[in-house]
A = this chain, B = another copy of it.
Amino acid sequence: MAQRLDARETSFPQAFADLLAAKREISEDVDQAVRSIIDDVIARGDEALIDYTRRFDALELTAESLRVSDAEIDAAEAQCQRDTLDALALAKDRIEVYHRAQRPQDSMTTDSVGVTLGWRWTALESVGLYVPGGLASYPSSVLMNAVPAKVAGVPRVTMVVPTPRGETNPLVLAAARLAGVDEIFRVGGAQAVAALAYGTASIRPVAKITGPGNAYVAAAKRRVFGQVGIDMIAGPSEVLVLADSSANPDWIAADLLAQAEHDPVAQSILVTDDAGLADAVEKAVERQLQTLPKAEIAGASWRDYGAIILVERLEDAIPLVDRLAPEHLEIETDNAEELAAKVRNAGSIFLGSHTPEAIGDYVGGPNHVLPTARSARFSSGLGVLDFMKRTSILKCDAKALRALGPAAIALGRSEGLEGHARSVAIRLNL
């Protein structure tokens, strides 16, 4: 049973602060191991990749078989069910349309002083996409990472995915082809991250690495950051459902459990102004848990991190939402749009009772890679901008330099940077 908090009680501020502060990450200290794996891949390249894959994935590779062949992808596609492939194609199309609208505009103007200035966006030259092996190997995540990269115009998207004992998820390969991934290598772990960052004879280095992974992968990404770009390190997932008496308790319970089934440290929170709804949702959760295949995981998450918060009025929930900054916010109330407009911090908002978060996980169109663990206070979900960068452009003619030069000289001197001042003055014969 999840914990209950009541915003009308005097103990609430402390209880809410404790909820905010609860650490859900299990931090394994794998940094030393990761460091030596990375150094080894830098030193020995493919040979090190092959050794680690033998050791960690029980798989014997050669430089030739590191890469997944087109024939293997053909065969994988043939293994997939038609309706799943169709669903994947629908998802890909909707994700692509949504992300196309995110492509940024260049800007170039000449101002009244005669300065031409603006910026230009360009795609990254290459991106590495890490896809976990085994159970956490989600074809939907392949789409969510690769489609925005391709929409951005990245010419080379390289995917790595471990295949323990040679086992591959055929849907992952099908999703990669559908999304336009250019090359796939069957390696994983810190060694795959090192290969993407530094390159080997078989794997060319990339400019940025994205995608989720275990503690080794996360530590490796942190360590190669700077050599290459990385996306955010994903933490455990969370949902906050804001609901009033108009909501269906069975539907809300299903949404809370959909979140909870991801991970024992996932977090599902209901905030409501209706004590009756709170009770009904709690009962529905217990009932639905009895037939859920992942009841053990979902039950642990709900028991350890789940919460139901009662508020006097729905408006009172807004500052709580902003402090929690949930990855997913469902608003199932009569005035959902109105409440949503008042929220500052959320990774994504799902409006109304017919928008379960699972729609957004797969086929809605928006990205499902979203800021977790309160980081929606300062960051955004994955998007096209993560695969592009902006170069600023400035051009003065002689007249414009005469207009701006004296101010630059004054500021350079005020900062003790005479060389800066001289680089302007020399052009103005000052």
Residue on B with the closest CB to A84?
Answer: B414
B124 touches A411 (CB 8 A): no
CA distance A378 to B349 in the complex (A): 29
The answer to whether A185 has its CB under 8 Å from any CB of chain B is: no
With A107-B101, A125-B345 known as contacts, the answer to whether A350 contacts B423 (CB < 8 A) is no
A223 to chain B, nearest CB (A): 12
CA distance A229 to B254 in the complex (A): 33
- Contact residues in B for A365 (Cβ distance below 8 Å): 111, 115, 117, 394
A372 to chain B, nearest CB (A): 10
B261 touches A417 (CB 8 A): yes
With A229-B375, A356-B427, A415-B140 known as contacts, the answer to whether A261 contacts B397 (CB < 8 A) is no
B394 touches A348 (CB 8 A): yes
Interface stretch, picked from A58-66, A87-95, A157-165, A305-313, is A87-95
A347 to chain B, nearest CB (A): 7
Q: Pick the contact of A381: B101, B262, B359, B390 (CB < 8 A).
A: B390
**Per-residue contact bits, chain A 112-129, to B (CB 8 Å; 1 contact, 0 not):** 000111110010110000
Residue on B with the closest CB to A86?
Answer: B407
**Per-residue contact bits, chain A 177-200, to B (CB 8 Å; 1 contact, 0 not):** 000000000000000000000000
The answer to whether A255 has its CB under 8 Å from any CB of chain B is: yes
> What number of copies of this chain does the assembly contain?
2
- Contact residues in B for A381 (Cβ distance below 8 Å): 390, 392
CA distance A97 to B412 in the complex (A): 21
The answer to whether A430 has its CB under 8 Å from any CB of chain B is: no
Q: Pick the contact of A390: B135, B380, B392, B411 (CB < 8 A).
A: B380
B393 touches A351 (CB 8 A): yes
B392 touches A347 (CB 8 A): yes
- Contact residues in B for A293 (Cβ distance below 8 Å): 416, 418-419
CA distance A336 to B87 in the complex (A): 49
Chain A contributes a number of interface residues (CB within 8 A of B) equal to 122
With A228-B378, A294-B418, A378-B228 known as contacts, the answer to whether A84 contacts B423 (CB < 8 A) is no
- Contact residues in B for A396 (Cβ distance below 8 Å): 352, 354-355, 359, 364
Residue on B with the closest CB to A121?
Answer: B380
The answer to whether A340 has its CB under 8 Å from any CB of chain B is: yes
Looking at chain A's contact residues, the main secondary structure is mixed
Q: Pick the contact of A407: B118, B340, B363 (CB < 8 A).
A: B363
The answer to whether A391 has its CB under 8 Å from any CB of chain B is: yes
Q: Pick the contact of A392: B250, B349, B361, B363 (CB < 8 A).
A: B349
The answer to whether A251 has its CB under 8 Å from any CB of chain B is: yes
- Contact residues in B for A371 (Cβ distance below 8 Å): 389
The answer to whether A16 has its CB under 8 Å from any CB of chain B is: no
A414 touches B125 (CB 8 A): no
A378 touches B207 (CB 8 A): yes
- Contact residues in B for A426 (Cβ distance below 8 Å): 250-251, 254
CA distance A229 to B378 in the complex (A): 6
Among A220-268, those with CB < 8 Å from B are 226, 228-229, 233, 250-251, 254-255, 257-258, 260-262
B171 touches A362 (CB 8 A): no
**Per-residue contact bits, chain A 383-407, to B (CB 8 Å; 1 contact, 0 not):** 1010001111111111011001111
With A88-B411, A135-B416, A418-B293 known as contacts, the answer to whether A348 contacts B393 (CB < 8 A) is yes
Q: Which 5 pairs across A and B sit closest by C-beta, in order of nearness?
A: A229-B378, A366-B392, A87-B407, A351-B395, A261-B419
Could you jot down 21 A-B contacts, CB within 8 Å? A87-B410, A90-B407, A97-B111, A102-B107, A125-B345, A229-B379, A254-B426, A258-B417, A288-B422, A293-B418, A347-B391, A347-B392, A349-B393, A351-B393, A356-B424, A358-B423, A359-B424, A362-B420, A364-B394, A379-B389, A380-B389
